[in-house]
Structure 1
Amino acid sequence: MGVVTSFDIEATELGDVVFAQFAHDAADTAEFLQMWGKEMENSPRELTAVLIVAQQGGRRIAQTYAVWAGDDTERAIPALERFLSIAPVLQQSAQVVPYAIVMAPAHHQHDGQSLTRGRAALVDHVDADTAALVAGLFDRRDTSFFQIRAVGGAINDVPANATAYAHRTQNFSLFALVRRGHEEQMAQEWGKVPATGLYLSFETHDHAAALNKAFPPDTLERLRRVKGAYDPQNVFRGNFPIRPTTA
């Protein structure tokens, strides 16, 4: 809807956290994803995690990056250990570190718009059908990279009408890269995900249906009024164009 020229950010002072990394053999992808989702939902509020499943050579590896908010290792370790029994563990580590180290910036050169396509979905649970669907994407080579981000928690404490991001009930944000030549098949399969929304920045196509999944009706109407006030000529119409309204 526009170009950001500056940010004013109020930082929150944070101390040490427990940062853990696990690598699992995800050969049984569907079973692994379902178990991982259940463990994440049953975890204490202090624990959040990101899961990446990728095809590496002839193996399917699942990498978990988990953060416990604080340095209470007596509570953090049991919560983290629950993930170790999901599937064969290839590598594991956990350490108490300053939060700033976990979020150390990565410097990547960007030369323009990526040709990579991605699909996104927000779901309440990683149920058996969703887990099997994702496993099928790998089996058919529709994707070679899949990610789950745990949401919920403090995200869902925010009222749905407080920001343009109005999805405050889901537990997981899903994302999959689309292999070239597999776009049509991927679209058909991804449409079966029981999504109740999507995170706009992880979606790369410009279908009108995706706009409605990104913003509930009331939120979209608010954005149209903002667009009508600041960009009535619809200059900023790339990505997911929001039609301005003056009503």
Structure 2
Amino acid sequence: MTTTAMNPGRLDGRLVLPGEAGYDEARTVWNAMVDRRPRMVVRCASVGDVVAAVRTARELDLELGVRCGGHSALGLAVPDDGLMVDLRPMGGVRVDPVRRRAWVQGGALLGALDREAQRYGLATTAGNVSHTGVGGLTLGGGMGWLARQYGLACDNVASFTMVTADGDVVHASPTENPDLFWGLRGGGGNFGIVTEFEFRLHPVGTRALVAEYTFPLDRALPAFRHWRDLNAEAPRQATFTASLGGDGQVVLGFVWVGDPAEARKLLPAMRGLGRTVATRVHEPSYVELQRQDDTTGRHALRRYSKGHYLRRLPDEAIEAFLLRGSTGSGEGLPNAGLQAYGGAISDVPDDETAFSHRGTVFEFGCGTGWTDPAEDAARKASARRCAAALAPFASGVYVNALSDDGAEGVRRAYSPDKLARLTTLKTAYDPHNVFHLNHNIRPAR
């Protein structure tokens, strides 16, 4: 094996080969089902390292995978016998509180962005789990607790710096390569490796409120209907959520970012949901809110999930959600959840970004985590049944929620017009489909 396009001694980071210290850590991702062995891992510490890695992969005709941070549910970042670009050493965040801007390197996690911005009471939309990668989240759209107030993560990007399939460094903004700027806001990692994001920040303060009302499954339907109707009138600071877990209990509520005193004005209406088995209202800091699902979303579990976008939530959809694809006891069923969209998400004109389905009312997701490989088939089947039960009500899917859906999933994630435009952009920036280990948009032939 040679690495003629890359001199390891000239890297700012490190080239890691099989058998060397750090190799197994570098190839281990969030989903424990992923167990692939790259021929080499380039732990990039600079844009120059990324350029060298891309050119090496091209010269040696190696598959190229990109790890930009946290999860990689399908493990697409880890190419068997290929070259893995590990951006995690490039995890820096720089904040200008006067201009309300954050410059975030491509390997940063959401928690780093949250911590630096919150030093000044600022934030931008940044997911729900702090060990998620900024890059993957943002390039697919980027839902989070601030989205109803300020739009998706991709709506808050002012500029990108990207390394192309030829190893060139380009910038994208409303005035520089505007077509690429359009495509990077929702089109995923199809066009290159983003090494830096410039985000707009917002003065959100440091406080939040979470309200949760728990109902037994046999009393959940009327409460669920009322919760749905309240969501239609909810202030933008509130993101309504619903979840159903392994204990068979339904949790309905909302997350509020901003003054908790204002959030508490919603509580009398929420008490109208009915008699609960448990009620919890608490006031985390914003940073604590961003970490509250870190344990549920922890590493080292085998993972599988499915999802849909919903433009409406009729009673029949609620009933299907509660059944989760089963008429049995509920044992072994996946966790299921709903998160409200609307507000600033739907304010953005549909043709302004590659992200589609801005008319979504709720995002539905179901998923399961386990440790025993013998359970793989049953766990996957249960998630598929759950998703199939909601499919009649679906209007599309979040590209970041795709699993093993293949080309059909990509077609569900984008409107036909947007997919055609993305294909043209892919053909211009990556005609040989070097960046294909993703939810792939193929170039025109």
TM tier relative to shorter chain: 0.7 to 0.9
Residue number in structure 2 paired with 1:126: 313
SS in 2 for 1:133: helix
Measured after TM superposition, the shift of residue 40 of structure 1 is 1.0
Show the 5 A alignment for 1:21-32.
21-28=211-218, 29-32=220-223
Q: In structure 2, which of residues 414, 419, 442 is the aligned counterpart of residue 215 of structure 1?
A: 414
Residue number in structure 1 paired with 2:391: 191
Q: 1:191 to 1:102 in 2, by over 3 A?
A: closer
Residue number in structure 1 paired with 2:201: 11
Query: In the aligned structure 2, how far is the partner of 1:44 from the partner of 1:187?
Result: 29
Q: Deviations over 1:139-185 (max 9, x none)?
A: 44473311111110011111111112122212111111263343564
Q: In structure 1, which of residues 206, 228, 234 is the aligned counterpart of residue 405 of structure 2?
A: 206
Query: In the aligned structure 1, how far is the partner of 2:270 from the partner of 2:313?
Result: 15
Measured after TM superposition, the shift of residue 65 of structure 1 is 4.2
Measured after TM superposition, the shift of residue 18 of structure 1 is 4.3
Q: Does 1:180 align with 2:380?
A: yes
Query: In the aligned structure 1, how far is the partner of 2:340 from the partner of 2:384?
Result: 28
Q: Does 1:86 align with 2:273?
A: yes
Q: Does 1:53 align with 2:244?
A: yes
- Larger of the two Rg values belongs to structure: 2
Q: Deviations over 1:55-81 (max 9, x none)?
A: 22xx424153410x53272x5323233
Residue number in structure 2 paired with 1:64: 253
Which segments of 5 or more consecutive residues in structure 1 lack a partner in the other structure? none
Stretch of structure 1 that moved more, 234-243 or 183-192: 183-192
2:306–2:402 Cα contact (<8 Å) kept? yes
SS in 2 for 1:7: strand
Letter in 1 for 2:360: Q
Residue number in structure 2 paired with 1:103: 290
Q: Does 1:35 align with 2:235?
A: no
Measured after TM superposition, the shift of residue 225 of structure 1 is 1.4
SS in 2 for 1:103: helix
Q: Does 1:155 align with 2:345?
A: yes
Give the % identical residues.
23
SS in 1 for 2:279: strand
Query: In the aligned structure 2, how far is the partner of 1:119 from the partner of 1:167?
Result: 17
SS in 1 for 2:380: coil
2:346–2:358 Cα contact (<8 Å) kept? yes
Query: In the aligned structure 1, how far is the partner of 2:364 from the partner of 2:303?
Result: 16
Q: Deviations over 1:74-118 (max 9, x none)?
A: x532323322232433022143x653443358487646xx74222
SS in 2 for 1:116: strand
Letter in 1 for 2:382: H
2:209–2:260 Cα contact (<8 Å) kept? no
1:164–1:223 Cα contact (<8 Å) kept? yes
Query: In the aligned structure 2, how far is the partner of 1:185 from the partner of 1:93?
Result: 33
Q: Deviations over 1:2-47 (max 9, x none)?
A: 4333322232222254412313124134444333221111223332
Letter in 1 for 2:201: A
Structure scoring higher RCO (CA < 8 A, sep ≥ 6) equals 1
Q: 1:101 to 1:177 in 2, by over 3 A?
A: closer
TM-score (norm 1): 0.81
SS in 2 for 1:52: strand
CA RMSD of aligned residues (A): 2.8
Show the 5 A alignment for 1:136-147.
136-137=323-324, 139-140=327-328, 141=330, 143-147=333-337
- How many aligned positions are there? 238
Query: In the aligned structure 1, how far is the partner of 2:347 from the partner of 2:306?
Result: 26
TM-score (norm 2): 0.48
